[in-house]
Amino acid sequence: MRQLTVLQLHAMMEAEPEARPHLLDVREPREFQLARIAGSELLPMQQIPDKVEEIDRSHPTVVICHHGTRSLQVVAFLERMGFKNLHNLQGGIDAWARHVDSRIALY
């Protein structure tokens, strides 16, 4: 399992659009409405098993949650399903708001 810091992700997001990772946010819709990284896709954790075939296996994917715990569980699940190019965002959206984009609400 690969961990990614918010500063590493920030650097990746500065790359050309085609080189940027897919951002998969596994929080609940109400959380996503409060705070999110621009360009991220919402797919709540509980929906992952039913939607696993809709997730692009070929593109690097960073899984995001509030603090990094749910996303860690989703990455482990997806790896068991054969996904290879996954990263867990350490500290989640909370760390992103604290260290990268202070305009994002803390909750």
Q: Is 65 a catalytic residue?
A: yes
Ramachandran class of 92: left when φ > 0, alpha when ψ lies in -120 to 50, beta otherwise: left
CB-based contact 71:26 (threshold 8 Å)? yes
Active-site position among 65, 74, 93, 95: 65
Determine the Cα–Cα distance for residues 75 and 73; give it in Å rounded to an integer. Answer: 5
Which residues are identified as catalytic? 65
